[in-house]
C-alpha cells in the first residue's frame, strides 16, 4: 500500500466520470485518516463501544487521552515558537530592490495569513492523521494578472486542508492533479449530504457539485493564478503514519485496565451483605440501607448474629505494575516524553540528563521539521510563481525556514552564549539561537538600528569632526 495522500490514475480528461473514479480510489485512505483524527479528538474509541451481557454490572468506559498528549506535545515542542522565514539577502547583493520587494511580500504574507497559527494547526493535522496539505489561492480575484499589476501586494491567501479532504493524482512519478472533496449540507431536505469537488492542475481549477439527484455536475473552470498546482503536501513521515498509530493497541489496553479497575471499585461499593445465623425482614433491610445502622437480633440458638460484606480480593500490585508497563511502552514507542515520570521531572535530574531523555522526541521533531520544510518549499514555489508578476528575479529557493524548540530557557546561560558568540556569527543567527530573550530577530534588529541612530543623533558630531571643519 502506497502513501495515503496519493492515487495512481491517468486523469487526462477532467470530467465527472474520471473525477468520481479518482475519488473512489481514495475512499479507503479517507476513512483511515478521518478515523485517526476522530480518535485524536477522543471519539470512536474502542472502549466507548464496549458492552456487557449483564446490564446490572458496572461498565465504565474511561478514555485516557494519550493520543492528544502525544500529538500536542510534539506540536508545542516544535511550533511553540514561531517558524522563522528569512530571505537570503546576501544572494541579492547586486539587486537590493528585488530583495526589499521580496521581504515586503513575505512579511505581508506572514502577517495577513497569521502563519504562526496556521503552521501549528498544520502540524496537528500532520501528527494526528499522517499528512495534511496547504492551499494557496487569490482572494476575490477574477483576473489575477490584471489585478496584481494594479496592486503593490497580491491578495494571496493560504489555508490548511486536512488529509481526509485532499489527495494527489500521479501518473507514474509525476504529480498531475490535486483533488479536494468536501461534504456539504444536503441539497434537498432529508436527502444525502452533497459533495463539492475542486480539481487543480498547474494552471487552472475545475469545480464540481452534486445536484438534487446526487449527480456530480460541472460548475466552472477558470485560471487559478499560479504556474504550479496550488496545493502543497505536508507528510508526517515517509509512510504517512500518525504519531500514535503504532501504540494504539497499548492505549486501548490501558483504557480497558483503568475502566475495569473502576468497575471493581463500584462492585465493592455494591458488595453483598452476608447475615450469618439470623434472618432479616425486608422492612428491616430497607431501614438499614436507609440509615446505615444495622441491629442484629439474637439467633435461634441464643448466640449473637453476625454480619459481614462479601468482596473480591484484588491484586492491586499486579494492576499497578500493568498500568505502569503500558504507560512506559506508550511513551517509548511513540517517541514522547512522560513529563510526570520521576526519572524525568525529579529534582535529582539535571538539565543534561533531561536532554538525553528527550532524544527520541527530538529525533521525531527533526523528521517532522524536515518534512515541513519540504512542504514549505512546495508552498513557496507556487507563491513565488505569482509574485514574479510583481517583482522579477524572485526565487523560492532563497527563502530559509528556522525551527526553534520550545523548551524552558536559562536566560543567564543564553546571555553567556550570546556574549561569547558575538562577532563570531551574524547578529541575525545569534538572535535566532537565543529564543526566550529575542522572539523576533528581524524586529530586534530594527530596534537596535533605531536605538543606534537615535544615540548618534543625541551624541552630535565628534570632536575630530569639529577640528577638521576648523582646520579647513
Residue 322 in 3-state DSSP? Answer: helix
Q: Are residues 380 and 429 in the same domain?
A: no
| DSSP strands (E only) in 280-431 | 306-310, 399-402
Percent of the chain residues topping a pLDDT of 90: 55
Domain end call among 385, 411, 433: 385
pLDDT for the residue 147: 45
Could you tell me if residue 183 is left (phi over 0), alpha (psi between -120 and 50 degrees) or otherwise beta?
Answer: beta
List all residues 6 or more positions away from 303 whose beta carbon is below 8 Å from its beta carbon.
277
> How sure is the predictor about 149, in pLDDT bands with cuts at 50, 70 and 90?
very low
- 362 against 452, higher pLDDT: 362
Q: Are residues 381 and 457 in the same domain?
A: no
List 168's β-bridge partners, or say none: 6, 178
Range of weakest confidence among 165-169, 235-239, 450-454: 450-454
pLDDT for the residue 89: 87
Q: Are residues 53 and 125 in the same domain?
A: yes
> How sure is the predictor about 145, in pLDDT bands with cuts at 50, 70 and 90?
very low
Confirm whether 287 is domain-assigned. Answer: no
- 34 against 345, higher pLDDT: 34
Q: What range defines the domain where residue 471 resides?
A: 422-472
> How sure is the predictor about 416, in pLDDT bands with cuts at 50, 70 and 90?
confident
pLDDT for the residue 463: 54
Rounded CA-CA distance 279/296 in Å is: 9
pLDDT for the residue 87: 93
Q: Which cell goes with 298? A: 439474637
Confirm whether 13 is domain-assigned. Answer: yes
Range of weakest confidence among 51-55, 93-97, 351-355, 429-433: 351-355
Q: Are residues 37 and 130 in the same domain?
A: yes
Arithmetic mean of pLDDT, 20-34: 96
DSSP-derived pairing of the beta strands 166-171 and 6-8 = parallel
Tens digits of residue pLDDT in 313-326: 667 788 889 999 99
Q: Is the pLDDT of residue 225 over 80?
A: yes
> How sure is the predictor about 146, in pLDDT bands with cuts at 50, 70 and 90?
very low
Rounded CA-CA distance 168/4 in Å is: 9
Answer for the pair 31, 192: CB distance below 8 angstroms, yes or no.
no
Arithmetic mean of pLDDT, 279-283: 76
Q: Are residues 219 and 140 in the same domain?
A: yes
Could you tell me if residue 148 is left (phi over 0), alpha (psi between -120 and 50 degrees) or otherwise beta?
Answer: alpha
> How sure is the predictor about 431, in pLDDT bands with cuts at 50, 70 and 90?
confident
User: For residue 227, what is the DSSP state?
Assistant: S
Arithmetic mean of pLDDT, 152-169: 87
Confirm whether 140 is domain-assigned. Answer: yes
Q: Are residues 461 and 381 in the same domain?
A: no
Tens digits of residue pLDDT in 230-256: 999 999 999 999 999 999 999 999 999
Burial class of residue 236 in the structure, from the number of CB atoms within 10 Å of its CB (0-12 exposed, 13-18 middle, 19+ buried): buried
Confirm whether 337 is domain-assigned. Answer: no
- 196 against 300, higher pLDDT: 196
> How sure is the predictor about 15, in pLDDT bands with cuts at 50, 70 and 90?
very high
pLDDT for the residue 464: 54
Domain end call among 361, 385, 409: 385
User: For residue 55, what is the DSSP state?
Assistant: T
Range of weakest confidence among 168-182, 287-301, 439-453: 287-301
Confirm whether 309 is domain-assigned. Answer: no
Q: Is the pLDDT of residue 85 over 90?
A: yes
Rounded CA-CA distance 118/110 in Å is: 10
pLDDT for the residue 284: 76
Q: Are residues 379 and 446 in the same domain?
A: no
Confirm whether 73 is domain-assigned. Answer: yes
pLDDT for the residue 312: 66
Q: How many structural domains comprise the chain?
A: 2
pLDDT for the residue 148: 43
pLDDT for the residue 306: 76
pTM exceeding the 0.85 threshold for the entire prediction: no
Domain end call among 360, 385, 410: 385
pLDDT for the residue 155: 80
Confirm whether 438 is domain-assigned. Answer: yes
Q: Are residues 74 and 21 in the same domain?
A: yes
User: For residue 188, what is the DSSP state?
Assistant: S
> How sure is the predictor about 288, in pLDDT bands with cuts at 50, 70 and 90?
confident
Tens digits of residue pLDDT in 100-113: 999 999 999 999 99
Tens digits of residue pLDDT in 352-407: 556 777 889 999 999 999 999 999 999 999 999 999 988 889 999 999 999 988 87
Average pLDDT, the chain: 84
List all residues 6 or more positions away from 19 whose beta carbon is below 8 Å from its beta carbon.
11, 179, 197, 199, 208, 216
> How sure is the predictor about 153, in pLDDT bands with cuts at 50, 70 and 90?
very low
Can you state the angle between helices 66-79 and 316-334, rounded to 10 degrees?
40
Confirm whether 249 is domain-assigned. Answer: no
Amino acid at each position: 500500500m502506497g502513501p495515503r495522500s496519493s492515487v495512481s490514475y491517468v486523469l487526462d480528461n477532467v470530467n465527472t466520470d474520471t473525477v468520481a473514479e479518482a475519488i473512489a480510489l481514495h475512499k479507503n485512505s479517507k476513512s483511515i485518516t478521518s478515523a485517526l483524527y476522530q480518535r485524536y479528538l477522543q471519539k470512536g474509541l474502542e472502549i466507548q463501544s464496549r458492552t456487557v451481557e449483564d446490564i446490572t454490572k458496572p461498565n465504565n468506559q474511561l478514555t485516557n487521552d494519550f493520543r492528544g498528549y502525544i500529538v500536542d506535545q510534539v506540536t508545542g515542542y516544535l511550533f511553540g515558537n514561531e517558524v522563522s522565514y528569512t530571505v537570503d539577502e546576501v544572494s541579492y547583493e547586486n539587486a537590493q530592490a528585488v530583495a526589499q520587494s521580496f521581504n515586503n511580500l513575505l512579511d505581508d504574507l506572514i502577517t495577513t495569513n497569521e502563519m504562526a497559527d496556521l503552521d501549528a494547526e498544520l502540524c496537528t493535522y500532520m501528527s494526528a492523521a499522517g499528512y495534511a496539505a496547504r492551499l494557496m489561492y487569490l482572494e476575490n480575484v477574477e483576473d489575477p494578472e490584471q489585478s496584481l499589476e494594479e496592486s503593490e501586494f497580491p491578495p494571496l491567501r493560504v489555508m490548511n486542508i486536512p488529509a481526509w479532504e485532499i489527495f494527489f493524482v500521479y501518473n507514474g512519478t509525476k504529480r498531475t492533479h490535486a483533488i479536494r472533496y468536501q461534504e456539504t449540507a444536503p441539497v434537498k431536505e432529508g436527502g444525502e449530504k452533497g459533495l463539492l469537488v475542486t480539481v487543480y492542475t498547474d494552471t487552472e481549477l475545475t469545480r464540481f457539485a452534486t445536484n438534487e439527484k446526487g449527480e456530480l455536475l460541472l460548475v466552472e473552470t477558470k485560471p487559478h493564478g499560479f504556474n504550479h498546482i496550488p496545493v502543497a503536501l505536508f507528510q508526517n513521515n515517509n509512510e504517512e503514519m500518525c504519531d500514535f498509530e503504532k501504540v494504539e493497541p497499548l492505549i486501548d489496553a490501558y483504557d480497558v485496565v483503568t475502566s475495569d479497575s473502576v468497575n471493581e471499585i463500584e462492585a465493592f461499593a455494591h458488595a453483598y451483605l452476608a447475615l450469618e445465623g439470623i434472618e432479616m425482614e425486608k422492612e428491616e433491610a430497607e431501614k438499614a440501607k436507609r440509615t446505615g445502622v444495622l441491629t442484629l437480633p439474637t439467633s435461634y440458638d441464643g448466640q449473637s448474629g453476625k454480619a459481614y460484606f462479601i468482596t473480591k480480593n484484588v491484586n492491586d500490585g499486579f494492576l499497578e505494575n500493568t498500568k505502569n508497563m503500558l504507560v512506559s511502552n506508550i511513551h517509548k514507542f511513540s517517541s514522547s516524553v512522560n513529563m510526570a515520570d520521576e526519572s524525568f521531572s525529579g529534582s535529582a535530574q539535571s538539565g543534561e540528563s533531561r536532554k538525553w531523555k528527550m532524544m527520541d522526541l527530538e529525533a521525531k521533531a527533526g523528521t517532522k521539521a524536515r518534512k515541513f520544510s519540504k512542504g514549505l518549499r512546495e508552498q513557496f514555489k507556487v507563491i513565488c510563481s505569482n509574485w514574479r508578476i510583481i517583482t522579477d528575479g524572485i526565487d523560492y529557493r532563497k527563502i530559509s525556514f528556522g525551527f526553534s524548540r520550545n523548551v524552558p530557557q536559562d536566560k543567564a546561560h543564553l546571555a553567556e552564549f550570546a556574549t561569547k558568540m558575538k562577532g563570531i556569527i551574524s547578529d541575525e543567527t545569534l538572535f535566532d539561537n537565543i529564543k526566550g530573550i529575542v522572539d523576533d530577530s528581524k524586529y530586534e534588529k530594527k530596534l537596535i538600528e533605531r536605538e543606534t541612530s537615535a544615540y548618534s543623533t543625541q551624541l552630535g558630531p565628534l570632536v575630530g569632526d569639529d577640528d577638521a571643519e576648523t582646520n579647513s
